Amino acid sequence: MPSPRWLITLTVLLLGACGSESTTEPGHVTLADLARGWQIVHWEYSRASDPSDKVDWVALMSLSGALAITAGGDFTVTPRLPGGFGQDFGQLTLQGDSLYWDGEDDEEWVHFTLAGRTLTLLWPEDEVVDMDQDGEPEDARLRVVLDGN
């Protein structure tokens, strides 16, 4: 049976060898960690009644845009979140795994994860949006994935 010291050393070496795309625990993220320009990679609506029914507006409509965050929490975003049109600006506040999104049109706590240079935002409320552009609005949830510049 290997000695405990050997197992501890092996564990430390294996953890150190893991990929560079580490996930930062939300409780350890600061606004300074988020301060940069972010490009929208996915703008995904999923039907509230059937989360497996998803539509990515980046792929469907060639949606593009950016989010800029300062170390003080000021932000500007184009297109506006969560609606997908226009632009917005405001202030972000961190608490645990949520950002308080205080924009001109939307004020709410938004769950986030940060993995390397990938920021994922999950809007908690159902949005009424024509997610699949068929002329009929659906109750949908929004997930936005951004790549840090």
In a domain, 133, yes or no: yes
Cβ-contact 138, 46 below 8 angstroms:
no
For 75-113, how does the pLDDT look when each residue is reduced to its tens digit (9 = 90+)?
A: 999 986 666 678 889 999 999 889 999 998 788 899 999
Range of the domain at 102: 25-148
Domain of 106, CATH number, reads: 2.40.128
Question: Within 10 Å of residue 83's Cβ, how many Cβ atoms?
Answer: 13
Q: Locate tokens 């969560």: which residue? A: 82
Token pair 């645990």 is found at: 96
* Of 4-13, 18-27, 129-138, 139-148, the least confident: 4-13
Structural domain tally of the chain?
1
Q: Is residue 4 part of a domain?
A: no
Check if the beta carbon of residue 89 is closer than 8 Å to that of residue 76. Answer: yes
pTM as predicted: 0.77
- Kindly state whether residue 34 falls inside one of the protein's structural domains: yes
pLDDT in tens, 47-77: 999 999 999 999 988 889 999 999 999 999 9
